[in-house]
Structure 1
Amino acid sequence: MSGPNSQYDPVEVTPLKPEEVEAARDAALAAIAGAGDLEELKRVRLEHAGDRSPLALANREIGALPPQARKEAGQRVGQARGAVNQALAARQAVLEREHEERMLVEETVDVTLPVARSPRGARHPLTTGAEMIADIFVSMGWEVAEGPVVEAEWLNFDALNLGPDHPARTMQDTFWVEPAEDHIVLRTQTSPVQARTMLTRKPPIYVVCPGRVFRTDEYDATHSPMFHQVEGIVIDEGITLAHLKGTLDHFAEAMFGEGIVTRFRPSYFPFTEPSAEVDMRCFVCRGAEGAVESCRTCRGEGWIEWGGCGVVNPRVLVACGVDPERYTGFAFGMGIDRSLMFRTGATDLRDFFEGDVRFSSSFGTEI
């Protein structure tokens, strides 16, 4: 059996010949220098420094050499591969820098040019209006109460002294929830919240109740089957009609400006006695001589109808578990939608419900 060929001449292994290694190195360096972008450099890397590149194949041949020939061949191939890798790294850095500079130029955005931006939304004026009204009363030390819009018939009518034969209990004004024997309605006013408050709290009570209400009205410029009310109730010892007048004067002034006052006209509501219609001084002409006759807002009256009010009927107090011999109180109610139409100059109630963001945006974030 023959032994290893210790006289094997490495020069005879073609890939390891000095001129072949130098040729492969020079070809790789030329290809690297000629790469015009990162994608082309990637192809050059695979071709000249990958596993199937000439220098990689030459490196594999070193193991077949005799021990005394491997050192020289390894140094030769290693130096060539090192030069190629250094050139690749240097060219990579140059091309990346050129790519970033090109991106800065090609992808520059001129922020001074007009653009078609998607418009931002806006909070609905009824939402901000209700919050503003609530803030007025919270600043006076009152609380804000809420209740369900689907309400028991007893709370919506009976607890408020609206007997079974009252016209408001007919299908003409009220949305009834089927089946009728469940005695459930869509609340026709926010007064049930007042009843719930008296049933669950002990006096003194100072509560304001904004919210949605429902009635079978036609949908037109001044009416809607769904609208918004704000009602307030006070139950305490020694409450008189004078407290009611002072409260509404402050409310009107906070809503419509300094100097706006209210007046009462006798009226009838089942849940208050005595009862009154509330008018407020016209916020446009302010009742001034020479301006009232031509004022289109109050139509020459100097006053604008605003809402209803009165002293809480003792029957309502008894129904809600409050001692009428000890406590008295007052209640009032206004339409939030109507108040905002006065305040903003809106002429069509339907604008508040059509969902046009252009209408809401015109009010900004506050009213």
Structure 2
Amino acid sequence: MSGPNTSYDPVEVSALDPAAIDEAVSAALTAIAAAGSLGELKAVRTEHAGDKSALALANREIGALPPTAKAEAGKRVGQARGRVGQALKERQAELEDERDQRILIDEAVDMSLVPRRAPMGHRHPIELMGTRIADIMVGMGWEIAEGPEIEAEWFNFDALNFDIDHPARQMQDTFYVDPPSAGLVLRTHTSPVQARAMLERGAPLYVGCIGRVFRTDELDATHMPAFHQVEGLAVDEGITMANLKGTLDRLASELFGEGITTRLRPSYFPFTEPSAEMDLRCFVCRGTDPDCRACSGTGWIEWGGCGMVNQNVLRACGIDTDRFSGFAFGMGVDRALMFRTGVADMREMIEGDVRFDAQFGLEI
């Protein structure tokens, strides 16, 4: 094995040439000074002080030099790398200080400012009205019952004394679920819940039902194909029309204020006998203004239907008609909302405009 080349001149190694080292140092210092962020400085560090930088390659060449040349070359490269390392350290400190100062400004929080709050959601006013009516009925000692919206034709019509040829059973008035022979309909009123309640619980019974119903009405300012009803059913011993009148007066006064009374006008419904239309004393003019727009000067506003439960209905639902009698009433929740708030067009209730809901807040 041959010995080391003692006559090797380190100047002949291009990486160790003093001019090349000075040039590498100069390029590194220029790049360090130009770095405007910590990310840019990191890239400069990799390029000018990393394992593949010019100074790192020069440092690796020292090992190939003869002993007499290593000291001088090592000193030259070490001083160059030290200058670059010191410059990197100083620029690192400067950029970190600038970053910290910028954070203090950019992320400053003014504790005196009123925070921006996300707008609150609102329950739909129809739901609020239904809840209010349910609370009134529960306060009177009644229960709230529920039933399916897709109902058997028997519960929707037959149990309620609708003849087989009654107009309400025709497709121009009722939505039938395909195939029509299945005997399923979208319930046209909430009365099927009353029939179910009598079959399940028997008598005595005091229940109310609030829910959505469906009819083939054209959508306009006062009609909707899908709307909401509230119905009440009382079955007990000795029930009379006087009990019905007192219940309606109480419900009206709770919803529309003291002094609001009801009036009953003779009418006809298959499931009640005798039957009546239920009117409210006008809550705007109290019957004193002949030019009142709410009641057209009549002093009364039509609200719903009511009557004594037809004995055929009681018998169909297993109630002993020799012992029990009952009354029932029903009115539109959507119409009650119109009366209470002055909404002129029912379509506003279903358009989904949050501005409509927001004006009622959390209570109506």
TM class by shorter chain equals: 0.7 to 0.9
Tell me, in whole angstroms, the C-alpha distance in 1 between the residues paired with 2:344 and 2:40. Answer: 69
One-letter amino acid matched to 1:298: C
Which residue does 1:245 correspond to in 2? Answer: 245
- CA 1:302–1:84 in 2, change beyond 3 Å: closer, same or farther? same
Which residue does 1:152 correspond to in 2? Answer: 152
Tell me, in whole angstroms, the C-alpha distance in 2 between the residues paired with 1:283 and 1:43. Answer: 79
One-letter amino acid matched to 2:193: V
Tell me, in whole angstroms, the C-alpha distance in 2 between the residues paired with 1:232 and 1:78. Answer: 98
Tell me, in whole angstroms, the C-alpha distance in 2 between the residues paired with 1:357 and 1:119. Answer: 11
Equivalent residue in structure 2 for 1:318, among 315, 319, 322: 315
Which residue does 2:114 correspond to in 1? Answer: none
Which residue does 1:115 correspond to in 2? Answer: none
Deviates more, 1:294-303 or 1:88-97: 88-97
- CA 1:235–1:79 in 2, change beyond 3 Å: closer, same or farther? farther
Tell me, in whole angstroms, the C-alpha distance in 2 between the residues paired with 1:258 and 1:3. Answer: 120
- CA 1:236–1:72 in 2, change beyond 3 Å: closer, same or farther? farther
Tell me, in whole angstroms, the C-alpha distance in 2 between the residues paired with 1:82 and 1:234. Answer: 98
Q: SS of the residue aligned with 2:129?
A: helix
Task: Kindly state the Cα deviation for residue 267 of structure 1 after the two structures are TM-superposed.
Answer: 2.8
- CA 1:143–1:49 in 2, change beyond 3 Å: closer, same or farther? farther
Deviates more, 1:292-301 or 1:3-12: 3-12
Which residue does 1:114 correspond to in 2? Answer: none
Task: Kindly state the Cα deviation for residue 230 of structure 1 after the two structures are TM-superposed.
Answer: 1.2
- CA 1:3–1:187 in 2, change beyond 3 Å: closer, same or farther? same
Tell me, in whole angstroms, the C-alpha distance in 1 between the residues paired with 2:149 and 2:33. Answer: 78
Residue 304 in structure 1 maps to residue 301 in structure 2:
yes
Which residue does 2:63 correspond to in 1? Answer: 63
Q: SS of the residue aligned with 1:188?
A: coil
Tell me, in whole angstroms, the C-alpha distance in 1 between the residues paired with 2:75 and 2:139. Answer: 89
Equivalent residue in structure 1 for 2:332, among 319, 331, 335: 335
* 1:9-31 Cα deviation digits (max 9, x unpaired): 76775645778656644552343
Tell me, in whole angstroms, the C-alpha distance in 1 between the residues paired with 2:170 and 2:293. Answer: 36
Task: Kindly state the Cα deviation for residue 63 of structure 1 after the two structures are TM-superposed.
Answer: 2.6
> What number of residue pairs does the alignment pair up?
358
Tell me, in whole angstroms, the C-alpha distance in 1 between the residues paired with 2:72 and 2:254. Answer: 98
Task: Kindly state the Cα deviation for residue 66 of structure 1 after the two structures are TM-superposed.
Answer: 5.3
Kindly report which structure 2 residues correspond to 1:343-358, keeping only aligned pairs within 5 A, or say none.
343-358=340-355
Kindly report which structure 2 residues correspond to 1:162-173, keeping only aligned pairs within 5 A, or say none.
162-173=162-173
Tell me, in whole angstroms, the C-alpha distance in 2 between the residues paired with 1:126 and 1:9. Answer: 98
Task: Kindly state the Cα deviation for residue 254 of structure 1 after the two structures are TM-superposed.
Answer: 2.4
* 1:84-115 Cα deviation digits (max 9, x unpaired): 344324423433554676688799999xxxxx
* 1:249-290 Cα deviation digits (max 9, x unpaired): 232122212332223233332222333222222111123xxx
One-letter amino acid matched to 1:329: G
Task: Kindly state the Cα deviation for residue 159 of structure 1 after the two structures are TM-superposed.
Answer: 0.4
Which residue does 2:28 correspond to in 1? Answer: 28
Which residue does 2:195 correspond to in 1? Answer: 195
Tell me, in whole angstroms, the C-alpha distance in 1 between the residues paired with 2:333 and 2:14. Answer: 97
- CA 1:84–1:327 in 2, change beyond 3 Å: closer, same or farther? farther
Kindly report which structure 2 residues correspond to 1:196-215, keeping only aligned pairs within 5 A, or say none.
196-215=196-215
- Taking structure 1 as the reference length, the TM-score comes to 0.80
* 1:166-204 Cα deviation digits (max 9, x unpaired): 332234433333433322222221111211222223444
- CA 1:128–1:68 in 2, change beyond 3 Å: closer, same or farther? farther
Tell me, in whole angstroms, the C-alpha distance in 1 between the residues paired with 2:234 and 2:78. Answer: 96
Q: SS of the residue aligned with 1:268?
A: strand
Q: SS of the residue aligned with 1:233?
A: strand
Task: Kindly state the Cα deviation for residue 71 of structure 1 after the two structures are TM-superposed.
Answer: 7.4
Aligned residues of 2:202 and 2:318 also touching (Cα < 8 A) = no
Equivalent residue in structure 2 for 1:293, among 290, 301, 321: 290
Tell me, in whole angstroms, the C-alpha distance in 2 between the residues paired with 1:340 and 1:170. Answer: 30
Tell me, in whole angstroms, the C-alpha distance in 1 between the residues paired with 2:208 and 2:235. Answer: 12
Tell me, in whole angstroms, the C-alpha distance in 1 between the residues paired with 2:150 and 2:8. Answer: 103
* 1:127-154 Cα deviation digits (max 9, x unpaired): 3322332233234443333322222211
Aligned residues of 2:123 and 2:357 also touching (Cα < 8 A) = yes
Unmatched 5+ stretches in structure 1: 111-117
Task: Kindly state the Cα deviation for residue 332 of structure 1 after the two structures are TM-superposed.
Answer: 1.0
Which residue does 2:269 correspond to in 1? Answer: 269
* 1:314-344 Cα deviation digits (max 9, x unpaired): 3212211233344433211001121111112
Q: Calculate percent identity across the aligned residue pairs.
A: 67
Which residue does 1:113 correspond to in 2? Answer: none
Deviates more, 1:238-247 or 1:326-335: 238-247
